[in-house]
Structure 1
Amino acid sequence: MALPSSQTTREWAVFTVVVGSRVYRAMLLTLVAIAAAPMLLGWHPYVIKSGSMEPSIAVGDVALGRPFAADEKIAVGRVYMFDDPSVAEERILVHRVVELRDDHTYTTAGDANGATDVTPITPDDVEARAILLVPYVGLPVTWLQTGRWVPLGIWLALTMAAFLLATRNVDGEPPKWTMRRLILDGLRRDTAAPGDGGTTTEGREGVLVRGGRSLAGLVAVCLVATTAFGTANAAFSGTTRNSGNTFTATSALLPYVAAVLADSPRGFWLLDETSGTTVRDYSQTYPNGPTSPSFQWGAPGALPRNPGTAMSFSGGRAILNNSAIGVPNAYSYELWFRTTSTSGGYLIGFENSTGANSGVADRTLLMTESGQLIVGEWLGLSRGTVTTPRSYNDGQWHQVVVTAAARSSFRQAVTIYVDGQQVASGSATAGGTLLISSGHWRIGEGNVDTNLFGTGTNVAFRGDLDAVSIYDRVLSAARVRAHWDAR
């Protein structure tokens, strides 16, 4: 069997490169056309700059949005382009609507993030409904706007080469632009020197024309994209990890977030902030709550499969609900803690003010100097408490859940769970009634009965706290365990 000659190999190589270049050129121009053509219908393209909608919507994709009509209803589960209401400057988000709230606002989320967006939206915030997604075509725009010159330069060079090679004829292919070539040949015959058939001039002219056309095409593509395509963020706090379909609702959540949200918490504070002076309620029930020194943001979080950070306290407090609220007869609360302190401390409680020294406090979870957990509903000097038999100031993260059943005959059955297991139960009151009917949940610092530590009424926790949630009912042992298993 005869081996192919070097000329045959070269011809096949040229054929492959030219055909590949034409395919790439056709795909690129088709994607740009698909992204730009709907503008004739009044639709607007948005280049995605960040990744909270991945994997279905990636950085560099172009999302096409149909303008939102004034009388149009927002569909829960669909993706919309809207003005971000949480910032003062204008910023467009491309996120999914995941909930219609009781106040007729809407909760939104990014598919790849760990919780819902902090600020709900109204129909007035919505600019467009996402209809079509065009992949990759916006990448050069994001590189240009973010100053990523190396990938932009490589793409420009490769694309110019592809456009140039795509104009080349392969062996046996009829010439293109026949009339144009006849005119140029006639002009060259009139001006060429005797004996000069114009071959060199034709070669130079062909290369220059093709190269100029390639460069002009690329410049046009970039200018159209950067001027006509708006840009939008897809990076904020959100809930779901998309399973594939671009613009349909999904329900897969980060494990712990999913477990907590399944039990409809009244408030849910992940404590994932990295700066600022407030804590966010990701259940969207309460406005941001204030903090006071001393604490630090950004401590390593408690939940291995749920990325995020924790708050590190050394005397400060965080008020979870800044406006006073009532607490029902039956309730539960949950949080994660880590400490090595031997001075005791205040983990969470309910008090009648947001100041350092409230007048009265109850429903409180404390750590004793020995590291045991103690729950009490304080009634002045008359108090009933439930205490864990072992200590937990071992420097490890622990989940604690306290449930309080409806009161009966001035007494309330309280159960303490640690790391998914029941560890203590009993009555947390010694008689009388609760001192506070309306107040503020707080963590990190608060009031205790003077007789408890013998050191005054204000006690601070020294350690890390994470993922606080409160409920208007008693969590079952099975649901407590489910939260622990989802960590």
Structure 2
Amino acid sequence: MTPPGGLRDSQPALVVSALARTVLGALVLLVLVSVVPAAAGWQSTVVMSGSMAPSVEPGDVTLVRPVDAAALEPGQVLLVDDPDVPGGLRLHRLVAVTDVGLQLKGDANATPDGSLVDAAAVHGVGALRLPGLGLPVVWASEGRWVPLSGAVLALTALLGLALLHRSSDDDEPTDPPGRARSGAAAPPARTAVRATTAVLAVAVLVTGTASAAFSGRTTTASSVGTAPYFTCAAAASGETAAQYLALQETTGTVAYNRGTYSGNGTYAGGVTLGVPGPVCNSASGAVRLDGSSGFVHTPINVSNPQTFSTQLWFTTTTGRGGYLVGFGNGTNGDTSSTRDRLVYMTNAGRLTFGVYDGTPQTITTPGSYNDGRWHQVTATFSPWTGARLYVDGKRVATNASMNAAEAVSGFFRAGYDSLSGWPDPPTSPYFAGSIAHLGIYASALTDAEVAAQYGAAN
């Protein structure tokens, strides 16, 4: 039997209205959560693509808090000015802090973003995710009117259900104009109408603001390259280099080491800093060695490395060869009496990699590389794989029987050391040309790793 007050005054109507009002209240709360932190300098953004899935899905609203550049760390999700879309925003994860910018990557993307981001372009670091709150913004931007219309109808129905319950008090006659009722509260239905109207106004205002200010699309996998590294710096240090000297300095004599071993290198002799370097999807610097006294040496004493890799970018047009990178017992840049684990260029421009095992054991490239172009040379060595020599990401020489090097402690260097006693030595042990991104690894890099590192230049 229907209660005296009718269906709208019934207990079921009260329950339905209460549930609808609870849902509306939750929506209002989420909207407020997305905008109130702005008073503390936070920012919200509607995620427009799936490049961060499953961590963040399209239609999620993400709140970011301000962050100092010094506090940026790999793993953080950053909101930044999109380097490829003027006026746009990008929400991606920080994977590397390089000398020339921040390298970001979408969790759903196979490779990092193709463009680096300046630290000054960072709006903040992700702090809170509100799932699905911004879906209407996504649907509107994509012209998906069916789900958008469905959402509007659902919200209208929810509003109607919130107003379904009506008590008999709501049917009391209104007061004549000019007379105010005293001692009585406003009818519940009227209160609900006013509250819900305010809720809808706030929701529309906030959603519109978020759409206008934070609708920059993130980069998707189809719009970036296929290389896992996008700067020479990230590539050289990407396989956990024990020593990594970017050789990007423009003043002074210190060659800063950003590897896992502690100790900076030193520029010695005729070295010109800050010259143009290899281009790896961004500008890169280098140092020029004069071919008569210039080189770079490191202070880290390494004991008998039997598994290692060395890597260096170089360019030259010299016809007299020179020492590129290697290992010796000379301290503080002194000429080594024992030289081993080295790469040098012959007068013909070919590259030779050698280790000393009672006698010099070497492998040499069939081609020449004194053509004035930038090249990346990588030498790897271990008792299991033997000696391998790579140029520009490709293995060009190998000898599996070269599997033991002299048991000696020493220091790595680039640009000069004695080559006395080595086969087909160059006219001068000093390399005349430019070098950059010196990497020393305590592992034998694989073919895939070397190719990926060189991929930064393509």
TM-score normalized with structure 2 length = 0.50
